[in-house]
Amino acid sequence: MIDNNNDTVVSFQPFRFGMGSFLFTPSSGKSYKALVSIEGAASITVDLPVVAPTGYVMRTEDDNDGTYKVTLTTNHLDRLHGAEIILLAHTRQQSKYTERKKTTNGTVTFSIKKDLLADGVSQLTLFNRELQPVGERLVFRAPKQEAMFSASPDAGSYKTRDAVNVNVTTALKGKPVPANLSLAVYQLDPLSMAPSMDIKTYVYLNSDIRGAIESPEFYFTNDPDAKVAADNLMMTQGWRRFTWNQPTRKTPLPYDYAPEFDGHIVGATVTYTSRQVPAEGLKTYLSVPGNKTQFYASMTDENGKAYFDIRDYYGRNEIVVQADPLADTNYRIDIADPFSERYSVKPFRQFSVDESSRAIIRNHSVSMQALNAYTGDSLTRFDIPRLDSSPFYGRFTKRYLLDDYVRFTTMEEVLREYVPEVGLKRTAGQPRLRIADWNQLKYLEGEPLILFDGVPVTHKQILAYDPLKVRKLEVVTNRYITGKFVFDGIASFNSYAGDMPDFVFDPRTVLADYEGLQLEREFYAPAYDTEAQKANRIGDFRDLLIWQPEIRTDASGKANTRFYTSDKKGKFIGVLQGIDANGNAASHVFSFEVTK
């Protein structure tokens, strides 16, 4: 490092993985440059930041006695004596330690016991009395090797289409402990190597560090250089991603995205088209047409936004969104995209393939083509969850299967002839449906909820519809209340296929294909229990023999799993990763050979 007079201030070199550290005290009014010489490459010159006349300097040292020593120095004249400094230490956004001290001669020192911090990366932040962050530093505490997970195959070598039995054990401090694990077994080749990052390195290190980490497993070893190398890695991070004016606010900021505890939340924005302003306080409805009646209601807020908490919505389906038909007709509805519109700013490295990998890539490609050609149906099977088929309103008062009655050609005739729970009353010359309240022996005067295949429809629309295309009618004669919405009874019509055949929607209604929760895919793993199955002439070219996302060991820390080899020969490795109930993560790698 040289100053503006070209005088050498300090010399430095990297310690491990191209990272190192050094100490120097900048002088006010001077500028500095770093000159980096790389063997076999051009030298690099970097201008260092301009020296500020006043400020704060934070230094963190490992005293090697189980404590961190944190020193803050300032030359602000009004902060030299008696200025309050607050230290906050937190690990993975959980507060672990806080302390307040005052400066003496522009310096304040804190001591933190390492045992107070959790394993992994912790963040130390210093605040002034105005709760403004003035210094920040990361420290790393390598977890002790207390959790031990292992997986042992019942042999070291197998033939093609042989059964492989794997015994899994999990322990903490030498005692059995139940754990939740995953297992992947795949063929080892230059394109599919053993992972350099596992669940332990991710939880305790990678998840808190920006960018890629070279050899993350090194920082968890007993190598004497690991502690210094980890400290250098922590110092490369600088100021973090947190915006401290948010945690120090007296009132919390609202969520940009509400937590989805029970189902998928669909957002919509309603705008008056003539004035281009949000439609506030407008009743809005969302439905999923089908044999199961799915209806959701929401009121727009001051920004014209409505939110619908949809339950049991899987895959890609059509949704119908509309506003109250009795409201202003001059509005527009926009459905929020279920996928994030923000993308990573991290640039991807240019894709390049080494010529020596040509044969391996061709082999993988042919294997995948064969699997798609001969077992394509097995690769696209999904586990359909068991869902409640009851409608949202629960039990109906009366159900009518229209095929059990005389089939009239108008809906008005159907209702008048044999549905006494639904009456017709003319208002301003137009017939309107009214639901009967048998307890009071009269018809309810308020607006009922009229549904067709779960979609709200108007009196005029349902009365004009062809009753020969309607299979059933369910009537709820009680007042139905959901949130701010009150309906005087429900009349729910259903077609035969739940697809509203030939129904004419209002032009303002929005029909959209919408992606819901993804179904759980069944992993394709054929069994060869019999000789006939083993003799099957269809080739099995699987590179990935098994992927089990959830293996649970019992109270004795044991579990067993079974799978079969394919027609591929060579070396295979198994990667077991998991976590116990207390958050202790560990992994294990095993291998075996497959021969003829």
Domain that holds residue 6: 1-53
For residue 254, what pLDDT is reported?
Answer: 73
Residues 214 and 137 in one domain: yes
Over the stretch 78-115, which tens digit does the pLDDT of each residue have? 889 999 999 999 998 889 999 999 999 999 999 999 99
Residue 454 lies in a domain: yes
Residues 308 and 452 in one domain: no
CATH number, domain at 500? 2.170.130
Last residue of a domain, one of 457, 481, 508: 508
Would the pLDDT of 145 be above 80? no
Residue 244 lies in a domain: yes
| Number of helical H runs and strand E runs in the chain | 6, 37
Residue 96 lies in a domain: yes
Q: Name which residue leads in pLDDT, 237 or 474.
A: 474
With a threshold of 0.85, does the pTM exceed it?
no
Residues 420 and 489 in one domain: yes
For residue 167, what pLDDT is reported?
Answer: 97
Over the stretch 328-343, which tens digit does the pLDDT of each residue have? 668 899 999 888 888 8
Gap between the Cα atoms of 269 and 110, Å rounded: 51
Last residue of a domain, one of 53, 71, 90: 53
Residues 90 and 226 in one domain: yes
For residue 259, what pLDDT is reported?
Answer: 85
Residue 469 lies in a domain: yes
Residues 408 and 272 in one domain: no
For residue 274, what pLDDT is reported?
Answer: 79
Residues 103 and 238 in one domain: yes
Residues 309 and 440 in one domain: no
Q: What is the mean pLDDT of residues 174-203?
A: 91
Give the 3-state secondary structure of residue 218: helix
Residues 242 and 214 in one domain: yes
Gap between the Cα atoms of 443 and 446, Å rounded: 9
CB neighbours of residue 355 within 10 Å: 5
Percent of the chain with pLDDT over 70: 97
CB 68 within 8 A of CB 80: no
In DSSP terms, which residues pair with 157 in a beta bridge?
A: 593
Would the pLDDT of 350 be above 70? yes
Residues 278 and 130 in one domain: no
Q: Name which residue leads in pLDDT, 371 or 291.
A: 371
Residue 214 lies in a domain: yes
Last residue of a domain, one of 482, 508, 534: 508
Residues 49 and 81 in one domain: no
CB 181 within 8 A of CB 587: no
Gap between the Cα atoms of 292 and 494, Å rounded: 9
For the chain, the domain total comes to 4
Q: Which two tokens stand for residue 339?
A: 């996928």
Gap between the Cα atoms of 146 and 520, Å rounded: 33
CATH number, domain at 226? 2.60.40.10
CB 157 within 8 A of CB 593: yes
Residues 73 and 4 in one domain: no
For residue 243, what pLDDT is reported?
Answer: 66
Over the stretch 535-553, which tens digit does the pLDDT of each residue have? 999 999 999 999 999 999 9
For residue 462, what pLDDT is reported?
Answer: 95
Would the pLDDT of 241 be above 70? no
Residue 485 lies in a domain: yes
Residues 10 and 79 in one domain: no
- CA angle at residue 143 from 247 to 147, to 5 degrees? 120
Residue 32 lies in a domain: yes
Would the pLDDT of 307 be above 90? yes
Residue 540 lies in a domain: no
Would the pLDDT of 245 be above 80? no
Highest mean pLDDT among 347-351, 441-445, 486-490: 486-490
Over the stretch 249-293, which tens digit does the pLDDT of each residue have? 667 777 777 888 878 899 999 998 877 899 999 999 999 998 888
Four-point Cα dihedral 39, 40, 42, 44, nearest 10: -20
What is the separation, in whole angstroms, between the first and last Cα of the chain?
A: 63
